[in-house]
Structure 1
């Protein structure tokens, strides 16, 4: 009998530790807040229920916010989450390619001249005053700058006298003093900067109610520093895909194309970690609107994407969602795998330029393709469409404020 109770105690102890481990895991793996169109339902391996006995707060109209307690197996508390109930948006999934023209807010430092003929122990005047590669310079000597020519002109006119430089670094604004030096017969700062960018991506969705769009699924970054380019102004245009290079292990391919004309098809408002956003002058797609899928509705299993290769129209290709990360600090929302034989035969999987291709699961727009795995081009990362939609709404608000002159 004693042996029975001893074994029972060991078993119960192990079970208790397992439950504690599960609650700890789900506490960090599940988000602190979600959007939903009804009682929250989470796609998890073990049964998790949401007890809505918490506080309730009306927001506006049909919108509301309620605190729910998540419970493992309906009994063991995990954490409280805030669920905002809203009418589910309807969005047009796209898959069309689009051209991006971006003018930066200030200029991005991409190189410091180590062999520019400057005197002193440090490499150049810019480095000596504290400027680093990846910094964003917004003004020199009190004048706003948006190009390399702006900086060169101000530095040359200084005659070698110190000039003030305003720099943004990791979200912080810093003021520095730069003393130009003669090199090659001219006063120079000793740095290379980037002032604009252009490229091709894929539109994810279009919102017929506000004219807003989201695309790309990741930021437009400088090719040298890999830093997101700060957006001052920009527009989007129609492009024609002329072909593609196939992805192979270790070497991702890319879509080939060009702008159809210099005319703009819309405006850019935001360049963010989850894509680019703005307004289009007209709907880019003939697809009908589908419901937005909330992040907690994404699950492992079959889905499909719309993307454009060489025939001018988006086509539907099968994929599998391999994993979903709902944690608030997740670097990537989902991992996906191309399962469509036609697409893999043509492109080897994901190629550069397909970023932004919308992902449909269970009839809902659930995400967008973002990155390809270099070692396995059939697999890659994806971002939640919900995250892109929330950012797009911010972009629409910015556009409205600009139009109203506020």
Structure 2
């Protein structure tokens, strides 16, 4: 009886391990496949994913562990269903047949100024009241990442206006309209008088704008895409919800070279004058910033899709020194899946001029366009913290898709 129980336990453990291995392998295979494939109309395009899976598209069966060729003569969208060993469903891939696209690479370093869509709550705090006691009116009512839209029935557009409205309450309850994640709610708070500031306050740190330096990636007609990643709040770590902003010509003072553990940066300032405005920012997304631009640039390049990219030599464009230059880089890795679209390529700066100037990739270079074989294929997104010569890049097809959403 004991032998039978022991054998039964071993069988159960074996089956559990087998199930865990199978689940891990299925997840791995899914991670090797993209969510979307772009192919040019009428052009033969070959793929190979090196996994024991198969796919069907328009009743055509394909083996994904061998090189297969797509050719579609009509624009449109198709669905490719994939399965492991022909039995276990993996994912559905969108196959988009498109006309060849051309956009103008930029590489222009730009000042970035955006205003939040409401007042962003950074944190809550206590302060000393008139009688010497501590007050924290906003504690457990407002939270990091909240956006204050209204005080009572008045829409709030700036930090200054908010402070005035709270002080005008003279200690009476105010109703704040707050956006928290995807919900809108009304919250009542009673301001208290601050002995230090001689005014009524609610004990909340708030922000109504942010600014920095980044790079414009490309221009399409009179629209632009830039950065290759979103603008996040430095304190809350959340993607900023914006009502708008501007691209401006910055004043660059110096270049701080990167080193292991400490990213370098472009040191400069932004002067908010009308003559410095070169574009308007309308969207802030995880995959870049988008808007309109006044100077549309010069030569247009064809878009290179994921399957066009190969390891080896490529170039980034940047006007770090005041004039536009091409700098040689090396593409070390191309990721076939969309697990993290901001890290679709691993790149390495090899150009001696850029290494001398910056020691690699520095803050402010995010968005620098990447050119390979005469095609615009992506943009710089991040630097390796421990190796400033190396970094990540986003695919151009990803940025363009985000722009058109």
What TM-score results when the alignment is normalised by the length of structure 1?
0.80
- Please list, as runs of the form range in 1=range in 2, the aligned pairs for 1:257-272 lying within 5 A after superposition: 257-259=268-270, 262-263=274-275, 264-272=277-285
Equivalent position to 2:199, from 186, 189, 194: 186
* Cα 1:145/1:77, change in 2 over 3 Å: closer
Gaps of 5+ in 2: 1-20, 61-72
Which residue of 1 is the match for residue 125 of structure 2?
113
* Cα 1:150/1:320, change in 2 over 3 Å: same
Gaps of 5+ in 1: 1-17, 56-60, 395-406
- Please list, as runs of the form range in 1=range in 2, the aligned pairs for 1:227-246 lying within 5 A after superposition: 227-246=238-257
CA distance in 2, matches of 1:79, 1:240: 48
Aligned-pair distance for 1:62?
4.9
* Other structure's SS at 2:274 match: coil
CA distance in 1, matches of 2:107, 2:119: 31
Equivalent position to 1:293, from 304, 313, 316: 304
1:356 pairs with 2:367: yes
Aligned-pair distance for 1:269?
0.7
- Is the contact between residue 128 and residue 134 of structure 2 (CA under 8 Å) also seen in structure 1? no
Which residue of 1 is the match for residue 15 of structure 2?
none
Which residue of 2 is the match for residue 85 of structure 1?
97
- Is the contact between residue 228 and residue 342 of structure 2 (CA under 8 Å) also seen in structure 1? no
Q: Deviations over 1:311-346 (max 9, x none)?
A: 432333223242415235656333322222322222
Over aligned residues, Cα RMSD in angstroms? 3.3
Aligned-pair distance for 1:99?
1.7
- Is the contact between residue 214 and residue 392 of structure 1 (CA under 8 Å) also seen in structure 2? yes
Which residue of 1 is the match for residue 35 of structure 2?
32
Which residue of 1 is the match for residue 351 of structure 2?
340
Moved more, 218-227 or 256-265: 256-265
Q: Which has the higher strand share?
A: 2
Q: Deviations over 1:203-226 (max 9, x none)?
A: 101113xx1100111222223333
- Is the contact between residue 322 and residue 337 of structure 1 (CA under 8 Å) also seen in structure 2? no
Q: How many residues align?
A: 368
Q: Deviations over 1:175-215 (max 9, x none)?
A: 2111111222422111121111222211101113xx11001
Which residue of 2 is the match for residue 403 of structure 1?
none
- Please list, as runs of the form range in 1=range in 2, the aligned pairs for 1:273-284 lying within 5 A after superposition: 273-283=286-296
Which residue of 2 is the match for residue 13 of structure 1?
none
- Is the contact between residue 151 and residue 177 of structure 2 (CA under 8 Å) also seen in structure 1? yes
What TM-score results when the alignment is normalised by the length of structure 2?
0.80
CA distance in 1, matches of 2:74, 2:292: 27
